[in-house]
Amino acid sequence: MNILMIGDIFGESGRAALAKLLPRLKDEHHVDFTVVNIENAASGFGVTPQIAKATLDLGVDVLTSGNHIWDRKEIVEYIGRENLLLRPANYPSGTPGVGAITVKAGPHRVAVLNLMGRVFMSPIDCPFHKADEVVPELRRETPIILVDMHAEATSESVAMGWYLDGRVSAVVGTHRHVQTADERILPGGTAYITDMGMTGPVDGVIGVDRDLILQRFLTHMPIRFEPAKGPAALCGVVITVDPETGRSTDIRRLRVPA
Ligand SMILES: [Fe+2]
C-alpha cells in the first residue's frame, strides 16, 4: 500500500501547487491514501472551512494541522462536525475537534494521528503520553497508523520517531517548512522523517515574503506578514506499507516544482 503525505500547504500558491500536482503524483506513485497538512493554507495562517472542503474534494483522505489551526475563528464550528480535519491530539480535553481518525481505504483501514511538540511551542499536554493513550486504541482498529508530528525542535521529532518505532507505520514531521534529508525506515518498521517541508512559495522565508521578514529581523518592528510571490514547490513523502503488518518498507522524499 502506497501512502502520500504532503507537508504544510502555505497560502494560495500552496493550494494551487497541490491541485495541480496531486493527480500526477497519485498516478506516478500508485497512491492508495493521501494525508495533507493544511494549517497554513489560508494566506499562511490557519484554514477556512471552504479551503478544507475544497482540499478534501481534490481527493485527499485526511487533513492534519498544528499550532495555527485556530487562526480563523470559523474553523471552530467546522472542526466540530468534520472529523477528517484533525487538530493535535494533545490539546487539552475540551478542545473542539479530534486528534485521530480511522478511515476506510479500499479493503483496509488507515488511522491518522496528529501530535504537536512542546519544545519552543505552547505547553500543551505531553505528546508522548498522549501517543501511549491513543496508539493502542487505534491498533485495535488497524495496524496502519500514520503520525503527523507537528514540532519546532528536531530533537523532539527524532525522539518521537524512536518512541513510536514498531508501534506505528510512520512518524512524519511538519511545521518547520524546511525539508530534512533524514528519511529512513527505523528498525521496528516505522517510516520516519523529521520534516517533510512545505508546499508553497520557494523564494520567501518559510513561505512569507522575504522583504517583510528581513524588515522584521532588521528593525524588530511588528509587521503584517504576507505570503511570498513567485514559484512554488510541493514537498512530501511517499511511504510503502505492508497493510497486513502495518510495517513500512520504503519512504521516498518528494520535492516537486509546481
Ligand atoms: Fe505550525
For residues 239 and 191, is the Cβ–Cβ distance under 8 A? yes
**In terms of Cα–Cα distance, which of 105, 132, 112, 142 is closest to 37?**
112
- Exposed, middle or buried, 93 (CB in 10 Å: 0-12/13-18/19+)? exposed
Distance of CA 127 to the CA centre of its chain: 15
- Residue 144 Cα to ligand 1 midpoint, Å, equals 25
User: How does pLDDT run along the chain (258 residues), one tens digit per residue?
Assistant: 999 999 999 999 999 999 999 999 999 999 999 999 999 999 999 999 999 999 999 999 999 999 999 999 999 999 999 999 999 999 999 999 999 999 999 999 999 999 999 999 999 999 999 999 999 999 999 999 999 999 999 999 999 999 999 999 999 999 999 999 999 999 999 999 999 999 999 999 999 999 999 999 999 999 999 999 999 999 999 999 999 999 999 999 999 999
d(C-alpha 127, C-alpha 130), whole Å: 5
- Residue 108 Cα to ligand 1 midpoint, Å, equals 30
Helices (H) and strands (E) in the chain, counts: 6, 12
- Residue 157 Cα to ligand 1 midpoint, Å, equals 13
**In terms of Cα–Cα distance, which of 64, 63, 69, 67 is closest to 47?**
69
pLDDT at 36: 98
Helix H or strand E encompassing 107: none
177 in catalytic set: no
Listed residues: CB within 5 A of ion ligand 1 = 66-67, 175
The phi and psi torsions of 66 (rounded to 5 degrees) equal 180, -145
d(C-alpha 166, C-alpha 232), whole Å: 35
d(C-alpha 191, C-alpha 166), whole Å: 10
* Long-range CB contacts for residues 50-59, cutoff 8 Å, separation at least 24: 51/15, 52/78, 52/82, 52/85, 53/82, 54/15, 55/9, 55/15, 55/18, 56/84, 58/18, 58/19, 58/22, 59/22, 59/23, 59/26, 59/34
Q: Which residue has the cell 489551526?
A: 69
Q: Which residue has the cell 518592528?
A: 221
Q: What is the pTM of this model?
A: 0.97
- Residue 175 Cα to ligand 1 midpoint, Å, equals 4
| Active-site choice (29, 30, 68, 177) | 68
